[in-house]
Structure 1
Amino acid sequence: MRETTIHMYERPELKDPIFVEGLPGIGLVGKLAADHMIQELNAVKFADLYSPHFMHQVIIRKNAVVELMKNEFYYWKNPDEKGRDLIIITGDQQVAPTDSPGHYEVVGKMLDFASEFGAKEIITMGGFQVPELQGEPRVLAAVTHERLLEHYKKKLEGCSTEILWREDEGGAIVGAAGLLLGIGKLRSMYGISLLGESLGYIVDPKAAKAVLSAVTRILGLEIDMSALDERAKETEEILQKVQEMQKAMLEQGMPGTQEEEDRNYL
């Protein structure tokens, strides 16, 4: 395999689809949100993306079967005649941060593929690492065009999650969550990035729920979040244990704790 390829198993007829991305990243926020959406909507898998820019390994699946690292495309047909369909991408990994050409190639292939089905609007999901959290995670939003600000603000009115419209001029959105919008914009596509606040060093279903709450508000969908709630409780218990261990280490003056603090683990 010398370049990124997509293996399609079905060519669905889709109605003005919205392309939704949720790939692994900070806190696995985007992937958790996308996987939950796929499960709750009973979305149908119809293509796999393989790339030599992914890690050089296979993953062991059930019954000792190996598979190459890949990203997966799913579609969902909106039962509402006036509604729009979805194309959702999730997967095993993104391209390594140091491989900029690989990122551009893979994202370009994704956009080529989504465009084949008429997708013009893109919603990207992911995590935004913060040194600490106070209260519920918020969602940071940025759009491809200034004219879209009011459009999405209106869509997000009444959202249960607090939305922060990014004003950190010069800030970045790395990986597919950013490049899909940036390259898509050059192709006359448009959309929004939604990143949930996360400590980043632990799988974060709470941030995923915050992001998914915003996405479903934009899409006008209702999705059961109970599975994410349950997973969030489990994560909070793990996090509490980690905090208790670190507190005990600090009280005992054990070596290495200052180094951990410098890394902003908590």
Structure 2
Amino acid sequence: MMESTIYVLERPMLRDPIFIEGLPGIGLVGKLAAEHLIQELKAVKFAELYSPHFMHQVLIKKNSVVELMKNELYYWRNPDESGRDIIIITGDQQVAPTDSPGHYEVVGKILDFAQALGVREIVTMGGYQVPELNGEPRVLAAVTHEGLIDYYKGKLKDCQMEVLWREDEGGAIVGAAGLLLGMGKLRSMFGISLLGESLGYIVDPKAAKAVLSAVTRILGIEVDMSALDERAKETEEILRKVQEMQRAMLEQQMPPSPEEEDRGYL
């Protein structure tokens, strides 16, 4: 396999589908959000993407079976005849950060496949690393075309999460979350990136919920978030224990006070 290949398991006929990306990245935010959406919608897997740009290893699955690293594509048919269908991509990994040609090759393959299915609109999900979090994570948004800001603002008007429109000129969106929009724009496609604030060093279901809350407003659907809430509670407990350990280690490394040093001579 010298180039990325998509193996098609089923060829669905879809109605003006919206393409949703949620691949591994900062805090696994996009992957968590995508997997939760797939589970709640009971979306159907219909294709698998394999690439020589993925890590040179296999994953051990149940019953001692090995599988190549891959991305998976799912579809969901909207029961509302006036609604639009959805395609979701998630998977084991993205291309290594140092392999820029690999990123372009894989994303190009994905866009070829998506266009053949009638995709015009792309929504990408991921994490945005911040040094600290105070309160609920916010969602940072950027679009392919300036004229889309009002369009998406209208859809996100009643979103429970705070959505910030990025104005950090020169900032970047790395990986598939950025390239799908940038390369898609060259193909007359349009869309939005939604990144949830995350500390980044721990799996972050809270940020995933924030992003998914915004995405479901855009899609015009409702999704039960209780499973993400439970995972967020577990993660917060883990984070609390990590912070306690860090504080204890810092206290051990601190030099003794002058009073403690004086007592050492008694």
Fold shared, TM-score > 0.5 on shorter chain: yes
Q: Alignment partner of 2:185: what SS? A: helix
Superposition map of 1:100-119 within 5 A: 100-119=100-119
2:164 aligned partner: 164
2:141 aligned partner: 141
**Distance in 1, Cα, partners of 2:204 & 2:159:** 20
1:211 deviation in Å?
Answer: 0.1
Q: Alignment partner of 1:118: what SS? A: coil
Q: Alignment partner of 1:141: what SS? A: strand
User: Which AA in structure 1 matches 2:67?
Assistant: E
1:212 deviation in Å?
Answer: 0.1
2:9 aligned partner: 9
> CA distance change for structure 1 residues 6 and 132 in 2, over 3 Å: closer, same or farther?
same
**Distance in 1, Cα, partners of 2:31 & 2:237:** 21
1:261 aligned partner: none
**Distance in 2, Cα, partners of 1:92 & 1:118:** 25
2:226 aligned partner: 226
Q: Any idea what the Cα deviations from partners look like across 1:181-226, whole Å, max 9, x if unmatched?
A: 0000000000000000000000000000000000001111100000
User: Which AA in structure 1 matches 2:128?
Assistant: F
Q: Alignment partner of 2:84: what SS? A: coil
Q: Alignment partner of 1:127: what SS? A: strand
User: Which AA in structure 2 matches 1:209?
Assistant: K
Q: Any idea what the Cα deviations from partners look like across 1:18-45, whole Å, max 9, x if unmatched?
A: 0000000000000000000000000000
| Structure 2 residues without counterparts, runs of 5 or longer | 256-266
Q: Alignment partner of 1:243: what SS? A: helix
1:252 deviation in Å?
Answer: 1.2
Q: Alignment partner of 2:67: what SS? A: strand
2:260 aligned partner: none
**Distance in 2, Cα, partners of 1:24 & 1:205:** 13
Superposition map of 1:191-230 within 5 A: 191-230=191-230
Superposition map of 1:1-266 within 5 A: 1-253=1-253
Q: Alignment partner of 1:2: what SS? A: coil
| Structure 1 residues without counterparts, runs of 5 or longer | 256-266
**Distance in 1, Cα, partners of 2:210 & 2:148:** 21
Question: TM-score, normalized by length of structure 2?
Answer: 0.95
1:263 aligned partner: none
RMSD: 0.8
Q: How many equivalent residue pairs?
A: 255
**Distance in 1, Cα, partners of 2:52 & 2:246:** 40
Q: Alignment partner of 1:151: what SS? A: helix
Q: Alignment partner of 2:142: what SS? A: strand
> CA distance change for structure 1 residues 37 and 252 in 2, over 3 Å: closer, same or farther?
same
**Distance in 1, Cα, partners of 2:100 & 2:111:** 17
- The higher radius of gyration belongs to 2
Q: Any idea what the Cα deviations from partners look like across 1:148-196, whole Å, max 9, x if unmatched?
A: 0000000000100000000000000000000000000000000000000
**Distance in 2, Cα, partners of 1:241 & 1:170:** 37
**Distance in 1, Cα, partners of 2:21 & 2:71:** 10
1:254 deviation in Å?
Answer: 6.7
**Distance in 2, Cα, partners of 1:249 & 1:70:** 40
Question: TM-score, normalized by length of structure 1?
Answer: 0.95
**Distance in 2, Cα, partners of 1:254 & 1:188:** 59
**Distance in 2, Cα, partners of 1:172 & 1:181:** 12
**Distance in 1, Cα, partners of 2:201 & 2:235:** 11
Q: Alignment partner of 1:13: what SS? A: coil
**Distance in 1, Cα, partners of 2:50 & 2:172:** 26
1:5 deviation in Å?
Answer: 0.2
User: Which AA in structure 2 matches 1:154?
Assistant: G
User: Which AA in structure 1 matches 2:85?
Assistant: D
**Distance in 2, Cα, partners of 1:184 & 1:40:** 28
